[in-house]
Amino acid sequence: MRRRVKWVACASGLCVLGAAGVVSGCGAQTAPHPTAPTMAASVQASARGVVRITSPTGSNLTTLDPSQWGPQILVDQGTIMEGLFVYNQQNQIVPKLCAGYTLSKDGLTWTFQIRRDARWSNGQPVTAYDFYYAYMRQLSPANPNGQLWLSVLNVVKNAYAYHAGTVPLSQLGLKVLGPYTLQITTSVPHYILGDLAEAGSMPINEQVAKAHPTDWFMPRYFVSDAPFTVKSFTPNGTLVLVRNPKYVGHPGEVNEGNAQEIDVVPGTSVPVEDFMANKVDVVEVGMPSDLQYVKTHPALVAQLHKAPDYAVTYLQYDNSAVPSPLTNPLVRQAIAEAIQRAPIVQDVLGGMAGTTTTFSVPGWPTAKYEHGLPENVAQARALLAKAGYPGGKGFPTLYLYAEVPSSNPQLVPVAEAVGKSCNRTSGSTRRLCS
């Protein structure tokens, strides 16, 4: 079992290079940014309404299944699949397929009404049964791959117990009360509207998926209830999305951008170079060295867009049977107060992040409810001594593990910097973290 602890290193920001006027097809996620004239090929692609983007570095699309953790969730959430709610450009939770809902007085039971004008790209209506099918497909005890944490199912009453086969269906907190009425009961009071915007909370056309259980997401079978549908898809290759002619957006919300086609190509390790070579129209600038290069070229600066991505880098510890000083909250608090976040952000990440001491970041709805521990080395040393390790004496070396650079090139240098901060806690040359 792993337990998360609030030893937060930094909160990330997102930098994107994008051609002038190019936006994605789902207006709920991006908006047009006026910029200076771009490179010719990018302008031509934009004029045709075609936007070329890349999968995240180090990971290509192998499936479009929203119940699996992978890069496909970037297009599942609101581009080729639409759920009851989404986040808009201001990071507000707004309705999509939801026509209205009620919440029981005890805060446990949510009853949702689904819009009756919503259609799949094959013309069939989107119903509560499609949501129920998608959820039960993940919850089935026969499905070992269900990622319940990736959706509202993470908080549904008895979801994990049912998935494990230890409770009957009658005790599961999911019900269809009619073709357009879905009821969800949670284990404890929980604000689930944000969870309903996650990839695993999207509906799946029951009829199509049952007819083609292993490849329902391939172009010849796939049906969409979102702004785009799938024209072609090669696993580990290119995904081509085109407008869904049957799509009906929620009245009063931004539902679509100006793109007519989105081509998602395999991830690249040289995003800026590919952008300059007109191979793609939008790339994420993920490395500080790339950002510094962009900042020295005015033509690229004019096309650079910045936005928070609300990701938080944190430490978690292995709560195994092996004795560890980390089971003592005083030790965890000491390390939390010893971490120097600002130098990590500036010197290691090149300013491509911010600092936080909680699991929230500025602008996040829950930020005002969370309170972290301040940076205080003197207090950290006092806490460590109170825990029984004065000056770090008798404290075993802790080992920090991070994702490999091919998956996330920033985390290893961040982990090294966090380790150096942890070592300040001893007040001596004694190494606490490696």
Q: Write a three-state SS string for 50-93.
A: EEEEECCCCCCCCCCCCCCCCCCHHHHECCCECCCEEECCCCCE
Residue 374 and residue 8 in contact, taking contact as beta carbons nearer than 8 Å: no
CA angle 102, 104, 108 (to 5 degrees): 110
Same domain, 319 and 392: yes
Same domain, 169 and 244: yes
pLDDT digits (tens, 9 = 90+) for 95-118: 999 999 999 999 999 999 999 999
Flag whether 279 is in a domain. Answer: no
Flag whether 43 is in a domain. Answer: yes
Query: Quick one: pLDDT band at residue 90, thresholds 50, 70, 90?
Result: confident
Query: Quick one: pLDDT band at residue 404, thresholds 50, 70, 90?
Result: confident
Averaged pLDDT of the chain:
84
Same domain, 92 and 225: yes
Eight-class DSSP state of 186 = B
Flag whether 379 is in a domain. Answer: yes
- Which of 247, 267, 287 marks a domain boundary? 267
Q: Which residue is it, tokens 């479009």?
A: 64
Same domain, 131 and 31: yes
Q: Which residue is it, tokens 């083609």?
A: 212
15 bridge partner residues? 285, 306
Same domain, 193 and 258: yes
Residue 138 and residue 67 in contact, taking contact as beta carbons nearer than 8 Å: yes
Same domain, 44 and 117: yes
Question: So what's the pLDDT on residue 206?
Answer: 94
Flag whether 369 is in a domain. Answer: yes
How many domains is the chain built from?
Answer: 2
pLDDT digits (tens, 9 = 90+) for 134-173: 999 999 999 888 889 889 999 999 999 999 999 999 999 9
Question: So what's the pLDDT on residue 11?
Answer: 42
Q: How far is CA 145 from CA 22, 68, 148, 149, 171, in A?
A: 36, 7, 9, 12, 22
Flag whether 434 is in a domain. Answer: no
Same domain, 53 and 198: yes
Flag whether 212 is in a domain. Answer: yes
Same domain, 263 and 328: no
Same domain, 66 and 6: no
pLDDT digits (tens, 9 = 90+) for 55-79: 876 678 899 999 888 888 888 989 9
φ, ψ (nearest 5 deg) of residue 195: -65, -30
Flag whether 373 is in a domain. Answer: yes
Question: So what's the pLDDT on residue 85?
Answer: 96
- Domain of 209 in residue numbering reads as 20-267
pLDDT digits (tens, 9 = 90+) for 179-213: 999 999 999 999 999 999 999 999 999 999 999 99
- Lowest average pLDDT, out of 16-20, 216-220, 234-238, 425-429, goes to 16-20
Residue 148 sits in a domain of what CATH number? Answer: 3.40.190.10
Same domain, 101 and 138: yes
Same domain, 224 and 315: no
Question: So what's the pLDDT on residue 38?
Answer: 31
- Which of 239, 267, 295 marks a domain boundary? 267
Flag whether 330 is in a domain. Answer: yes
φ, ψ (nearest 5 deg) of residue 40: -55, -45
Q: Does pLDDT of 22 surpass 60?
A: no
Run of H or E residues at 130? helix 128-139
Same domain, 117 and 227: yes
